[in-house]
Structures are given as C-alpha cells and as structure tokens.
Amino acid sequence: MSVITFILSVIIAMIIGTVADKISPFNMPGGWAGAIVAGFIGAWIGPLLFGTWGPMVAGFSLVPALIGAIIVVVVAGIIAKFFD
C-alpha cells in the first residue's frame, strides 16, 4: 500500500464516517478521529453483512460501508449514552 493510497483511504473513511454521524440519531464520540474509525469499521462490517454492491472508490463499496458505519455510530452512541 502506497502512502497516496493510505491517505485516500483515510479521507474516504472520514467522509463515510462523517455522513453516517450526520444521518444517525446518535453522535459518534471522538469527533473526526471517531468518524475515521467508524468509516473503517463500517467499510469492514458493511460488505460482510450486505455484500459488495454500489459504487466502489479506493476499495470501499460505498453503500454497504455507509450502512455499516451507521450501525457503528448507533452502537457507539448508545454505549456513550450509558457513560454520560
């Protein structure tokens, strides 16, 4: 993996995580770092649960990754509510 590919992956994960944070009823703890984590975990979980379909950018299947990131944000938001 080259440096350019890594940076592009981080940017795509941050965009996916930020969109998931804005769509979901809960807020992702951690700000932009939390959005990146949610994007990467969503990009891993989404295709496992829903398959790879829709547009692909930098190895991310965008629609399943977004749905997976929304699931991650909701779960993290619920867990964060318990510790408030």
* 78 vs 66: CA distance, rounded Å: 18
Q: What was the pLDDT predicted at 59?
A: 82
At 58 the pLDDT is 83
pLDDT of residue 27: 87
What pLDDT score does 68 carry?
95
Q: Which residues of the chain fall short of a pLDDT of 70?
A: none
**C-alpha–C-alpha distance, residues 13 and 17, integer Å:** 6
Query: How high is the pLDDT of residue 43?
Result: 93
pLDDT at 44: 94
Q: What is the sign of the dihedral through the CA atoms of 48, 51, 54 and 56? A: positive
